[in-house]
Structure 1
Amino acid sequence: MMKHVTGSVLGGPLLAAAVMLSGCASNAVDLHYYLLHSPSHKPVSPTGQVSKQIRFEQLRLPDYLKQRGLAMQTGPATVYFSSQHVWAEPLNAGLLQSLTDTLWQQEQVQVLPNNIYKARQMPRVDLQIDDLIATHTSDVLLKGHYWVHYPDGESKVHRFDFRAALQQDGFEHTVVKMRELVGQLAADIGKNV
């Protein structure tokens, strides 16, 4: 004949396991969010004189920049992705917003969305980012190329490789340096459109 096992015999170990598992679940990871564009920049007067109008047609990023976590090169062939330091928005959206803001502030170049003034003739830009990363040699780099397609049908490719030295450790300082490099890219695009 089988004896009936009471709840108190099994209840003790199950209760202990449940308490241990709930303790593991309560250790939430503290996330730090970063924006590539700077919401605190004071805009140039909205009535400023527009020097040029352009349109970004395509913005391509390598797969490693499509990750949510910020990436940092830790050796000649290794990349670390942070699980606690993450982009607050997809990097392609942040990069486009940063370029749009900086082109207006530095060059008074107005970037028009693709769905506005479709018939208007203006230079179109296709942008390919190859790298945007802090490196193991204590610098940040922004490399790639862009094509400018002019209304007359001519197209030109422009390569870029901007670098800035890191003076501090940490992702926040890295993102500030990335913003500076995007500013250099915006100035380069502004002079070539």
Structure 2
Amino acid sequence: MDKEKKPQRTQCTQPALLALLLSLLLSACAGSVSPSTRYVLPSTQTPSSPQTPKAELMSISAVRLAHYLDVEGIIMQLDDIEMREAREHQWAEGLNRQLARNLRDDLAAILDEVQVVSSNAGSEDALTLRLDVDEFHGRYDGYAVVSGQWQLRDGQNKLLHLDRFQVQTALETDGYPALVRALSQSWTSVADDIANTLIQRGYVPQ
């Protein structure tokens, strides 16, 4: 009988012991995990108080991200084919929202005669600016890479202009803070190029 009871006691106590060890291991791991660092794209523009109505109205449509960019973690390109999302370095807010907001503020600061608004604040007569972002990440050679396509449409959704953008900015130092600042600098360059094109092509008053 004793020989039959020993396996039963082992079967009862072993799962309980394993469960206890597992819970201790999980609690130890949870205690050692450091919180993620979250980043926002810096903006060089300060919001201005409302002024008199301007000659032109332009609405910034939602910025569409490539699928691999639509994540919380900042993306790093490790070689010619491998992309990796950072676990401990993440965006504090959706990247598409940050890009749209910074673009709106940058264009509003450059285009004196244009009232630049968010997509949900526009009107049927407004020009609409749409952007697709294909790249917005750090690269293994020390550059912040930004590329994609933008298009301008009129109030009837007719395509007025289509163009691409591609900007590379060297990181001043190592680390994610330097990468975020370099990406923001690249995005500001995109806004500058768009504004210059809009003026040169006569889509907005100078």
> Do the two structures share a fold, i.e. TM-score over 0.5?
yes
Q: Which residue, out of 141, 145, 150, partners 2:145?
A: 141
For residues 32-181 of structure 1, the aligned pairs below 5 Å read 32-38=37-43, 41-47=45-51, 50=54, 52-108=56-112, 109-119=114-124, 121-151=125-155, 153=158, 155-181=160-186
- 1:141 aligned counterpart, secondary structure: strand
- Greater per-residue helix proportion: 2
Calculate the aligned-residue CA RMSD, in Å: 2.9
For the residue of structure 1 that corresponds to 2:173, the secondary structure is coil
% identity of equivalent residues: 25
Contact 1:51 1:107 (C-alpha < 8 Å) held by counterparts: no
Secondary structure class of the residue paired with 1:83: strand
Work out the CA distance in 2 between the residues paired with 1:63 and 1:50: 36
CA contact (8 A) 1:148 1:156 kept: yes
Q: Is the 8 A contact 1:37 1:94 kept in 2?
A: no
Shift of 1:32: 0.5
One-letter amino acid matched to 2:129: V
1:26 aligns with 2:31: yes
Q: Tell me which residue corresponds to 2:188.
A: 183
Name the amino acid aligned to 1:169.
D
Mapped partners of 1:48, 1:172: distance in 2: 38
Query: Relative to 1, partners in 2 of residues 1:27 and 1:188: Cα closer, same or farther, differing over 3 Å?
Result: same
- Normalising by structure 2, we get a TM-score of 0.77
Deviates more, 1:75-84 or 1:46-55: 46-55
Equivalent position SS for 2:63: strand
> For 1:138-180, what per-residue CA distance to the aligned partner results, in whole angstroms no more than 9, with x for missing partners?
1112111111113584521111111111121111111111111
Instruction: Decide whether aligned partners of structure 1 residues 13 and 181 sit closer, same or farther in structure 2, where only a CA change above 3 A counts.
Output: closer
Deviation at 1:99, TM superposition (A): 0.7
Deviations 1:41-73 (A, max 9, x none): 533454387464211234221111101100011
Kept after mapping to 2: 8 A contact 1:36/1:175: yes
Deviations 1:87-116 (A, max 9, x none): 111111111111112112233443323343
Classify 1:45/1:26 alpha carbon distance in 2 versus 1 (closer, same or farther; 3 Å): same
Whether the 8 Å CA contact 1:144–1:159 is kept in 2: the answer is: yes
Q: Which runs of 5+ in 2 are unaligned?
A: none
Q: 1:124 to 1:85 in 2, by over 3 A?
A: same
